[in-house]
Amino acid sequence: MVPACSYGPRGPESEYVPQKAAIITGASSGIGRATALAFARGGYAVVLAARRAAMLDDLASRCRDRGAEAVAVPTDVACEQQVRDLVAACVERFDRVDVMVNNAGYGLHALVHQTTTDQMRRIFETNFFGVFFGCRAVAPVMIRQRQGHIFNVSSVIGKRGAPFNGAYCATKFAVCGLTDSMRVEMLDHNVRVTTVCPGLTDTAFFDSGEGHSAHRKGSFARLRGLAPPDLVARRIVATVGKNTPELVFSAGGKILTLIAAVSPRLADWMMKRYHDDLAGPRQASRRRRRGRMHKQDT
Ligand SMILES: NC(=O)c1ccc[n+]([C@@H]2O[C@H](COP(=O)([O-])OP(=O)(O)OC[C@H]3O[C@@H](n4cnc5c(N)ncnc54)[C@H](OP(=O)(O)O)[C@@H]3O)[C@@H](O)[C@H]2O)c1
């Protein structure tokens, strides 16, 4: 539970309590939107960033309905200057940044050898450089405050690669590495840095990504079920101020991470089987039959 914070009554006898402020990127939809609402409910002022201004405005008014101050700052996280301006806007308005959630990102569904160089560069611009720019811009503010918490959103498949997601996984692995490094660097400054690894979550992610991932949302839902974005949001808010290296969601995600560390070969087998199943039961059993025949032939 986040302590409610607000401007205290300013007067000679009362102590001024600064309002806590959280910046959330990718706030126009899904996990980012749910996280913004959760911080607003927790008494934070929220600074909302994404490219779609109208959706940010709508969210800002919902946050205000919950009694929070809210500012919409249309931002493309792939542009470093825009991310600097985002952090500056928060400092200018609230004099501080207590939490930064670097969440903006999208998926790319493609085989590695069919991923174009341009696609690879573009997904890194948003999913990795967007996070890096956020960290770079906010760290000096938090160091000065001697307080703050940065959350970088990766993925369960930023811990173990998955077929058809090579480019996406590469960006999310990069986020994990960056975040692990920064966490230790920030220890002496009392700034916390946490990696967030959601599992399959029910958002527009599957529709908004590149490649033919849209039809797969149904397959994922059929096989595993999708977690509500609010689950991730509430865990992020509850983790503020704690020295938590990472939040890995879903039992499946935790098991996969563990197995991948102990036996990469077993993890490969699980991934292959899982993705065959995603293609549908008939295709999966056909592929398995083909695999058995191939073994008999050799
Ligand atoms: N859903 C899942 O199953 C899942 C699982 C693991 C990890 N994740 C991660 O969770 C994060 C949030 O995704 P989601 O599931 O909530 O998907 P979503 O509903 O599609 O939200 C993605 C958000 O990122 C923003 N965004 C994308 N590119 C941007 C850019 N260049 N600049 C600024 N904002 C940008 C989008 O806003 P605009 O289009 O308005 O800019 C949107 O608000 C992503 O990093 C994703 O990789 C999701």
Q: Answer yes or no: is 1 within a domain.
A: no
Q: Please give the chain's pLDDT, 298 residues, in tens.
A: 333 333 333 344 456 566 899 999 999 999 999 999 999 999 999 999 999 999 999 999 999 999 999 999 999 999 999 999 999 999 999 999 999 999 999 999 999 999 999 999 999 999 999 999 999 999 999 999 999 999 999 999 999 999 999 999 999 999 999 999 999 999 999 999 999 999 999 999 988 888 765 556 666 655 567 899 999 999 999 999 999 999 999 888 899 899 999 999 999 998 888 777 666 655 555 555 555 544 444 4
Distance, CA of 243 to CA of 234 (rounded, Å): 17
Distance, CA of 40 to CA of 286 (rounded, Å): 50
Same domain, 55 and 122: yes
Nearest ligand 1 atom to alpha carbon 172 = 47
Same domain, 109 and 190: yes
pTM of the model: 0.89
- Does residue 123 have its Cβ closer than 6 Å to ligand 1? no
Q: What is the H or E stretch that residue 102 is in?
A: strand 99-102
Q: Answer yes or no: is 12 within a domain.
A: yes
Query: What phi-psi label fits residue 290: left (phi over 0), alpha (psi between -120 and 50 degrees) or beta?
Result: alpha
Mutation test residue for ligand 1: of 25, 28, 173, the one with most atoms within 8 Å of CB: 28
Same domain, 208 and 272: no
Interacting residues of 270 by C-beta distance below 8 A, sequence separation 6+:
256, 259
Same domain, 115 and 171: yes
Q: Which domain holds residue 267?
A: 263-298
Same domain, 149 and 243: yes
CATH code for the domain of 218? 3.40.50.720
Same domain, 165 and 297: no
Same domain, 15 and 143: yes
- Does residue 125 have its Cβ closer than 6 Å to ligand 1? no
Can 106 be counted among the known catalytic residues?
Answer: no
* Residue matched to tokens 């302590």: 3
Nearest ligand 1 atom to alpha carbon 33 = 43
- Does residue 158 have its Cβ closer than 6 Å to ligand 1? no
Provide the domain count of the chain. 2
